[in-house]
Amino acid sequence: MPQTFVFSTYGARGDVFPYLAIARELQNRGHRALVATSESYRREIEKRGLEFRAIRPDAPSGDDAQKMMHPINGTEFLFRRLLLPALRDSIADLRAVAVGSDVLISHTTSLAGPIVAEMERNRGLKWASSAVSPLSLLQNDVALPALPRAVDFPILNRAVLELLRRQFGMHLKETQHIRAELGLSRGDNALWSDAHSPQLQLCLWDERFAPVSGMEARRAVGFCFLADETPLSPEIEDFLSEGEAPIAFVVASFSDEWHWQVESIAAAEMQGKRALFLGGAKFSRGESDLFAPFAPLAPILPRCAALVHQGGIGTLALGLRAGLPMLLCPHSHDQPDNARRAQKLGLARVLAPKNYRAANVAHEIGVLLRDEEITARLNQWRGLQNGSANAADELEQFAN
């Protein structure tokens, strides 16, 4: 029997696109799947034939976008300054979508998700929570953005985690007042216990990357990849076809993007390698490099020699699937934890942003390209199974 599934999320592409993959899988099985997120994703979602519903607030821009990526205060800014002030609007928007649906699946950033789930529970709405990266579970083995090295000292890391839980509990106390206004239970902590469903928690990564334990409701379904039929631009296709495999640099939210580009270009030249920079404002061609707007990575990465990026979970998963040596320069949010896990598994090397200098980058790339052990380990991840089918299986079973 066809069911209706609503996915509620907020954030970067890596926080949104895994849900598009699951939604498409459910749609292909005859179900109705709606993706409820920021207005700025409308075109990306609708052009793929998926149903979109706008949920306030929209994605930040300008100074707010930079503040959200601050290595220490970015997560606090996201929740306190962007999501919490718009929570009443988010609840109204999401409830309008969820009424009459069968299952609501919420991302950790969806503060409205658990609230709407409780509001509509008596009408038959089921709630599954989800996490796109291990940091969202805030288990004792996570590396926190502000103190990533504390994870090497378990007692210290547990103390920092407990302090963080209490701090965010205070910051997000307004959610308890809003819940009380709506006649709901006050809840405990909007970012921790309240954010995770006791019935089903989908962990959207390969269990080899981060084992899932501690709760029967948790399911590691695998990384979820969206098949993208968008053809590559002629500029990118020509660049990839006319010479040796380049180093791919994914331009993201670095605090000093100009510095990063200058150092990256110099590093590629030191290695005698061509370079493809993805995420720029426009196309710009040099003798041995190409700057291009962001493009689908799945068809590009298998044609590259190595990948340099911040360690966002979506790009990292695509790099693993392509079996590509990676240099990670983690900046904020889940990136330090993702980078630590990839490095610990022997799948990537890590360089701190403060050490991002051409000579250092060139050295790390050289090590990656010569390291046969990393290549052998990456071959075991090449062609990763798409976890979307597993996620859809879990949701179908949960709905019934």
Position 193 scores a pLDDT of 85
Query: Residue 214: left if φ>0, alpha if ψ -120 to 50, beta else—which one?
Result: left
Nearest Cα to Cα of residue 167 among 94, 291, 72, 33: 72
Do 210 and 345 fall within a single domain? no
* 123-131: average pLDDT: 98
- Structural domains in the chain (count): 2
Instruction: Tell me, yes or no, whether 73 lies in a domain.
Output: yes
Least confident of 168-177, 327-336, 344-353: 168-177
Instruction: Tell me, yes or no, whether 97 lies in a domain.
Output: yes
Kindly report the pTM of this predicted structure. 0.94
Share of the chain above pLDDT 90, in %: 73
**Most trustworthy range by pLDDT among 29-38, 66-75, 172-181, 182-191:** 29-38
Position 303 scores a pLDDT of 97
Task: Report the 10 Å Cβ neighbour count for 183.
Answer: 8
pLDDT higher than 90, residue 315: yes
Sequence-separated contacts (24+) of 339-342 with Cβ below 8 Å: 339/311, 340/143, 340/148, 340/151, 341/134, 341/209, 341/210, 342/209, 342/311, 342/316
Do 56 and 33 fall within a single domain? yes
Do 274 and 217 fall within a single domain? no
Do 56 and 103 fall within a single domain? yes
- What is the torsion angle, in degrees rounded to the nearest 10, for the CA atoms of residue 23, residue 53, residue 233 and residue 348? -60
pLDDT (tens digit per residue) in 138-175: 887 887 777 778 788 888 888 888 887 787 777 788 99
Instruction: Tell me, yes or no, whether 266 lies in a domain.
Output: yes
CA 118 from chain centre, in angstroms, equals: 26
pLDDT (tens digit per residue) in 212-225: 976 789 999 999 99
Query: Do 47 and 63 touch, CB atoms closer than 8 A?
Result: no
Do 136 and 248 fall within a single domain? no
Position 255 scores a pLDDT of 53
The more confidently predicted of residues 394 and 65 is 394
Query: Do 197 and 267 touch, CB atoms closer than 8 A?
Result: no
Distances (CA, A) of 50 to 23, 27, 41: 8, 8, 11
Do 122 and 53 fall within a single domain? yes
Instruction: Tell me, yes or no, whether 229 lies in a domain.
Output: no
Position 70 scores a pLDDT of 82
Q: SS3 sequence, 346-392?
A: CCEEECCHHHCCHHHHHHHHHHHHHCHHHHHHHHCCCCCCCCHHHHH
Domain housing 101: 4-224+386-399
Least confident of 70-74, 251-255, 333-337: 251-255
Do 88 and 163 fall within a single domain? yes
Do 50 and 130 fall within a single domain? yes
Do 63 and 209 fall within a single domain? yes
Which distant-in-sequence residues (6+ apart) come within 8 Å of 315 by Cβ? Answer: 14, 250, 297, 307, 309
What is the sign of the dihedral through the CA atoms of 373, 374, 377 and 383? negative
pLDDT higher than 80, residue 253: no
Do 240 and 177 fall within a single domain? no
The more confidently predicted of residues 1 and 54 is 54
* 320-330: average pLDDT: 97
Tell me if residue 307 falls in helix, strand or coil. strand
> What mean pLDDT value characterizes the chain?
92
**Side-chain half-sphere CA neighbours of 172 within 13 A:** 32
Q: Which amino acid is at 105?
A: I
Do 173 and 250 fall within a single domain? no
Position 256 scores a pLDDT of 64
Do 162 and 276 fall within a single domain? no
Position 280 scores a pLDDT of 75
| CATH of residue 333 | 3.40.50.2000
Nearest Cα to Cα of residue 304 among 284, 336, 327: 327
